[in-house]
Amino acid sequence: MRIRIKQILEQGVGAGICSFSGWVRSVRSSKEICFIVLNDGSTVDGIQVVAESVLTNFSDICRIGTGAALTVEGCLVESPASGQKWELTARVIEIIGDADASYPLQKKRHSFEYLRSIAHLRPRANTFGAVFRLRSRLAQAVHRFFSENDFLYVHTPIITSSDCEGAGELFHVSTLDVADPPVLDGKPDFTQDFFGQKTGLTVSGQLEGELFALAFGDVYTFGPTFRAENSNTARHASEFWMIEPEMAFATLADDADLAEKFVRYLCRFALEECADDMAFFDRHIENGLIERVSRVADADFVRMEYSEAIARLQRSGASFTYPVEWGLDLQTEHERYMTEQIVGGPAFILNYPKDIKAFYMRQNDDGRTVAAMDLLVPKVGEIIGGSQREERLDRLEKRMEEMGIAKEPLWWYLDSRRWGSCPHAGFGLGFERLVMYLSGMENIRDVIPFPRTPRHCEF
């Protein structure tokens, strides 16, 4: 079996004669000797391979292009050159897949914008190697955290007939002929559609997650979610991944406790288990990243009432594009000012006005707020949105009526409040926003392999 570069570099000369495969990052050659840097994706570092003219295919090797795939056999030795500890003297080099001068990743540095246009090749660029290794490890850390805390992992549906957030951002799922759908009363007749009703891609697994929490106590779902929201920002994607825990017999304070424990766990995990890639981000993407993440891993997160947040933003004297007023939602500029200038770290904002939040949030006794929480972090803004849920059937029904939400399609959700209802709470962590926060990458399109945003769905 081939051995990975990460392993070879860890073992040093102890690796003995080894054979490995990877892609050429750079080539320098003279008459006598050729230096090839090879990377296989296992680590941000490559191995410098030294090919000497004794190799039978030396002339072919000298002509090899950046991007070509090679298999190399040889021995690791201490490198006389500075900048690297080891190099590998090749005994055999096999050219597996050539690459010519039209390979787009010739230069060391390209803009992220350009790399987005070649998303099929950018995983081979150093920064994206680091991003997608971090993303993969973090996904595993999410499962590890919940497994260690005895949460049940539930696969909530991707195709659904309910719009959890009620924001009308559902992508339709239909097999009707769009050019000529069956029509009833001037509208497409969805009773003739595949599912016999109008369906869409889920915006959140929460409502189904709640049903499982009311059977298993502590559950979580981690899956793709879809929002047909026409916002072209560096923080919004039309397809993104969300982690949604839900706890029975839990309040808003328990919810914030879990969110804090979870985020700190993920920070610590990234620092400890992804140290090489984090060092890369610290060097090339955001100076001081490791210190920033370390501080968060150890910090107590600030908890602030929405009303206080508004008052403090108003008192700050800062000038914002959007108004700051009790009753209005916080915009990214406010969220960032709050965490970057006022708090200097992550902050929970608690108990928002009910009119800017979803129907399912628990109504507070003041009659004007709900038990909602958002976790805001520097640079990214909102990373988590959650709440204690309205577990009282009468209050829930009344709120749905006030908000014009049809009860009939959500009969099963209301049933959960009919038998064995209990206080429960949960939240959603946007996985891409987490990866942005931990890597210092500033655009959501650069932390998801093949981003989907308005008018963009290539690959």
- List of residues contacting ligand 4AD (CB under 6 A): 164-165, 204, 206, 227, 229, 236-237, 240, 242, 244, 382-387, 426-428, 430, 432-433, 444
SS3 content of the chain, % helix, strand, coil (to 5): 35, 25, 40
- Cα distances from 332 to residues 27, 101, 233, in angstroms, run 45, 43, 10
C-beta separation of 174 from 193 below 8 A: yes
- Measured from the CB atom, is 242 or 248 closer to ligand 4AD? 242
* Residue 42 CB, nearest approach to ligand 4AD (Å): 29
Query: Residue 277 touches which of Mg ion, ligand 4AD, none (CB < 5 to 8 A by kind)?
Result: none
Residue numbers at the binding site for Mg ion (CB under 5 A) = 385
Q: Which is nearer to ligand 4AD, 149 or 314 (CB)?
A: 149
Q: Which of ligand 4AD, Mg ion, none is residue 236 near (CB under 5 to 8 Å by kind)?
A: ligand 4AD
Residue with smaller CB distance to ligand 4AD, 115 or 263: 263
Q: How far is the CB of 371 from ligand 4AD (least distance, A)?
A: 11
Q: Nearer to ligand 4AD by C-beta: 134 or 164?
A: 164
| 3-state secondary structure at position 194 | coil
Nearer to ligand 4AD, 119 or 252 (CB): 252
Our CA angle for 440, 131, 141, nearest 5°, is 95
- Which of Mg ion, ligand 4AD, none does residue 22 bind to, with CB < 5 to 8 Å depending on kind? none
- In angstroms, the CA 268 to CA 168 distance is 37
Among Mg ion, ligand 4AD, none, what binds residue 66 when CB lies within 5 to 8 Å by partner kind? none
- Is residue 158 within 8 A of residue 173, CB to CB? The reply is no
Closer residue to ligand 4AD, CB minimum distance, 263 or 274: 263
Cβ at position 262, least distance to ligand 4AD in Å: 13
CB-wise, 188 or 353, nearer to ligand 4AD? Answer: 353
Helix count (H) and strand count (E) of the chain?
13, 18
Rounded to whole angstroms, the Cα distance separating 79 from 258 reads: 48
72 binds, among ligand 4AD, Mg ion, none (CB under 5 to 8 A by kind): none
27 binds, among ligand 4AD, Mg ion, none (CB under 5 to 8 A by kind): none
Q: How far is CA 374 from the centre of its chain?
A: 17
Residue 446 amino acid letter: D
CB-CB contact of 318 with 340 (8 Å): no
Q: Please report how close the Cβ of residue 213 comes to ligand 4AD at its closest, in angstroms.
A: 10
Q: Residue 220 CB, nearest distance to ligand 4AD (Å)? A: 9
Per-residue b/e over 360-395, b at no fewer than 16 CB within 10 Å? bbbbbeeeebbbbbbbbbbbbbbbbbbbbbbbeeee
